[in-house]
Structure 1
Amino acid sequence: MNYEARIGTEDGEMTPELARENLAQAPLANRRTWLIVAGVALLLVATWFLVHRNDVPSTANVSAQAATVSVIAPGRAAVAGAINATGTIAARYDEPVGSVGEGGQVVEIRAEAGDWVHKGQVLAVIDRSVQQQAQASQAAQIRVAEADARLAQANLDRGLKLVGRGFISRADVDRLTATRDAATARVGVARAGLGQLQAQAARLTITAPSDGLVLERKVEKGQVVTGGTGTLFRIARGGDLEVLARLSETDLAAIAPGVPAEVTPVGAQQGFSGRVWQVSPVIDPQTRQGTVRIALAYAPQLRPGGFAAVVIRAGTVVAPRLPESAILSDQGGSYVYIVGAGNRVERRPVRTGMVSDGGIAVIEGLSGAERVVLRAGGFLQPGETVNPKLVPAAR
């Protein structure tokens, strides 16, 4: 058997026994080869990690992975402050006009709301027929007193002529003099009574206390009025108007008399220029607000009692100016996110100031050279790396 196998090998022919022996040895050789290849690969990987374990990812790779945010370098500029508020339009000097006499029935009305009137002009007339009769009676009393006074004077004159002849005594002359003086005094009393009646009757005529605009008429013809009836007319003295605006303590501190303001009535397209003429000296302890009074010239569009939007110019400061979207706030106060070294986000507390159409002034916390996150600050975290995109600052 062995001889045949060797002969077959020498002749170049594969015997069955030799084939089975080769098949048994082939898997062992393949496994050894794979084990050697795997070991070399593991060695190469371990060597690479040892060599590059301290390497930092490149800026380009980080930038490619980081979120892109818009930033702004605000710089510093003069910011004209503006305080927005709402207020009520009213007469600057509101003069109520009523009846101060004993009263009576209104027989005539000579002024309506919206009329311009002058000082002393008649607004309404109250019936005075009774007062006229009383005046006539008192005038008659004056004439009686005057007649008595003339008679007393004539008697005195005759007595003075007779006393020199001895027909009457000096005592008689004294009595005649006293009678004359009493008669003259009664004339004065009667005239004073007539003057009183005339003054009382004059008070039945309702007149304007000053030049101005009639804002309201609260009396009707035929109405019975007395001194306790209340206001019959309301007049804006000189036609001057004002706006009463309620502001916080902080805003009040930035305003002084003389500051210009712009007033726009509700429903109107046109604004009206005015000036602050009074700042409330006290603060309401409940609302922590005070009243600012803005003087306005008369205009038909300005109706007392209506509401108006008010923009008060509160001075100028030099500071960085940011849009509202860049300023965030929480329990710690107002803050912004800036992009610092290595494009890392930093939180920066700030204190805001005046508000204008161009943005909000930052009076503390920024120099103006920082790169401030313009939007999406609420989605960032301090220390986060971002890819900043600079946006030109608005001027």
Structure 2
Amino acid sequence: MSYESVSHEGQPLLLGDDTPPRRRGRRIAVVTGIAVILLALFLIFGRGHKAPPKGPAAEQAPPVSVIAPGRQTVDRVLTANGSLAAKREMPVGVAGEGGRVTRVLVEPGQWVAAGQVLATIDRSVQAQTADSLAAQIRVAQADATLMQANLDRARQLVANGFVSRADIESKTAARDAAAARVRVAQATLGQQRAANGRLDIRAPAAGLVLTRQVEPGQVVSAGSGVLFRLAQGGEMEMRATLAESDLAGLHVGARAQVTPVGSTVKFDGVVWQISPVIDPATRQGTARIQLRYDQALRPGGFASAAIVSGASTVPLLPESAVQSDRSGNYVYIVGPDSRAAKRVVTVGEVTDQGVSIVAGLDGTEHIVVAAGAFLSPGQKVKPVLQTPQTAAASSPS
């Protein structure tokens, strides 16, 4: 009995297998494709993937620069704004009876000596009065001379009995009255001359002329107000406005640097007076900073000041070492296990030398200088110790 048969297409068929040839070919192709895919996946994910290593090699420790800042003396600097003014401003007006101004002898910006004439006032009438008083003195002196001569002759005749002692006493009184009239006339003339001298407007002390408010021909009197303003000795000051809390830590003699608006030049000064009262509305007071004269210091101008109100010994860090977030300022320190740890700090003065830390550090820690924003607490790092000077030079400004 034969187990083969021939299909109508001439291909041999196994007896008992009634699967159509086309369907069986498709199944073989599908199975083959799945096998190829599984093999590819094995090659890619089976051989290529290795289990993560365990131990120290598993952590990639990045190198970071660290410093041990220690403690440094840092000035406590207060910044303030205010106006420039003469330290001692001297308003000058009419001291006498006044009159018509004949000459003005100075201009703003000129230096004057004590007693120097700033302006003159017409004194023609007063001069005539002084001449009249001088003539009265001469008349009184002539009377006094005559009375003295009469007294001397009477004294010569009294011994012979021609003149009584009563006559001598009368002539002595007349002589004394004439001498008194001379002194009265002299005093009156001196008073007139003093009044004439007050007609001139003079500088009460040496200084710098700031303003001039008078012109020749102007009639002035004691009620005319201020005609000149002088800065005594040319000394200037800045009246810096500070908060009540800042004034509490400030002392007379504190150093300061003043920069007028529109200028880059800094002028050294010293606090010479601190306001004894606080404005109840603004809670501010005034610190007066004495300055040497300079043409750039113009009274009435505006300026800023940096006042050194004290010093403290604190750690000083580069600005790049201090990070901040919603909770405040912090730094990263590296412990003995070479792991980064976050430390909250309180920032003090910020100067060109760095940032002072008033709380949170004692200066012995190893502080990450830069790249703190890319670290996370507990991360393993490779610390590279630098000196504070090197770190400050290399930190970004």
Please say whether Structure 1 and Structure 2 have the same fold, judged by a TM-score greater than 0.5.
yes
- The answer to whether the aligner puts 1:336 opposite 2:349 as a matched pair is no
| Equivalent-residue separation in structure 1 for 2:297 and 2:119 (angstroms) | 26
Cα gap change, 1:375 to 1:166, in 2 (>3 Å)? farther
Deviations 1:174-206 (A, max 9, x none): 111111111111111111011001000100111
Residues 1-395 of structure 1 mapped to structure 2, 5 A cutoff: 75-81=69-75, 82-322=77-317, 326=322, 335-336=329-330, 338=332, 346=342, 348=344, 350=346, 352=348, 354-368=349-363, 369=365, 371=367, 393-394=391-392
**1:135: Cα distance to partner?**
0.9
**1:344: Cα distance to partner?**
7.9
| Equivalent-residue separation in structure 2 for 1:204 and 1:262 (angstroms) | 43
**1:243: Cα distance to partner?**
1.7
| Equivalent-residue separation in structure 2 for 1:301 and 1:206 (angstroms) | 29
Where does residue 26 of structure 1 map in the other structure? none
Deviations 1:250-292 (A, max 9, x none): 4334443333322222222322222333333444343333322
Q: Is the 8 A contact 1:80 1:314 kept in 2?
A: no
Give the TM-score taking structure 2 as reference length: 0.71
| Equivalent-residue separation in structure 2 for 1:140 and 1:97 (angstroms) | 35
Secondary structure of the residue aligned to 2:227 is: strand
Secondary structure of the residue aligned to 2:224 is: coil
| Equivalent-residue separation in structure 1 for 2:66 and 2:274 (angstroms) | 38
Cα gap change, 1:171 to 1:58, in 2 (>3 Å)? farther
**Residue identity matched to 2:344:** R
Cα gap change, 1:329 to 1:136, in 2 (>3 Å)? farther
Q: How many residues end up aligned between the 2 structures?
A: 347
| Equivalent-residue separation in structure 1 for 2:272 and 2:79 (angstroms) | 17
Cα gap change, 1:356 to 1:337, in 2 (>3 Å)? closer
**Residue identity matched to 1:357:** D
**Residue identity matched to 2:316:** R
Cα gap change, 1:253 to 1:356, in 2 (>3 Å)? farther
Q: Is the 8 A contact 2:74 2:356 kept in 1?
A: no
Structure 1: tracts of 5 or more residues without a match:
1-6, 21-56
Q: Is the 8 A contact 1:336 1:373 kept in 2?
A: no
| Equivalent-residue separation in structure 2 for 1:222 and 1:301 (angstroms) | 33
Where does residue 38 of structure 2 map in the other structure? none
Cα gap change, 1:282 to 1:259, in 2 (>3 Å)? same
**Residue identity matched to 1:150:** T
| Equivalent-residue separation in structure 2 for 1:329 and 1:132 (angstroms) | 84
| Equivalent-residue separation in structure 1 for 2:171 and 2:142 (angstroms) | 15
| Equivalent-residue separation in structure 2 for 1:201 and 1:119 (angstroms) | 19
| Equivalent-residue separation in structure 1 for 2:311 and 2:138 (angstroms) | 77
| Equivalent-residue separation in structure 1 for 2:381 and 2:137 (angstroms) | 105
| Equivalent-residue separation in structure 2 for 1:239 and 1:227 (angstroms) | 26
Q: Is the 8 A contact 1:78 1:316 kept in 2?
A: no
Query: Which 10-residue stretch deviates more, 204-213 or 279-288?
Result: 279-288
**1:208: Cα distance to partner?**
1.5
Q: Is the 8 A contact 2:148 2:175 kept in 1?
A: yes
Secondary structure of the residue aligned to 1:362 is: strand
Query: Which 10-residue stretch deviates more, 128-137 or 266-275?
Result: 266-275
Where does residue 54 of structure 1 map in the other structure? none
Q: Is the 8 A contact 1:74 1:322 kept in 2?
A: no
Deviations 1:148-176 (A, max 9, x none): 21222122122212222222221121111
| Equivalent-residue separation in structure 1 for 2:293 and 2:379 (angstroms) | 60
**Residue identity matched to 1:218:** Q
**1:298: Cα distance to partner?**
1.6
Q: Is the 8 A contact 1:243 1:294 kept in 2?
A: yes
**1:359: Cα distance to partner?**
3.3
**Residue identity matched to 2:97:** E
Cα gap change, 1:230 to 1:351, in 2 (>3 Å)? same
Cα gap change, 1:204 to 1:171, in 2 (>3 Å)? same
Secondary structure of the residue aligned to 1:231 is: coil
**1:216: Cα distance to partner?**
1.2
Q: Is the 8 A contact 2:345 2:357 kept in 1?
A: no
Cα gap change, 1:315 to 1:209, in 2 (>3 Å)? same
Cα gap change, 1:263 to 1:180, in 2 (>3 Å)? same
Deviations 1:304-349 (A, max 9, x none): 211222223344432123466847598x9x6436568897875635
**Residue identity matched to 2:354:** G
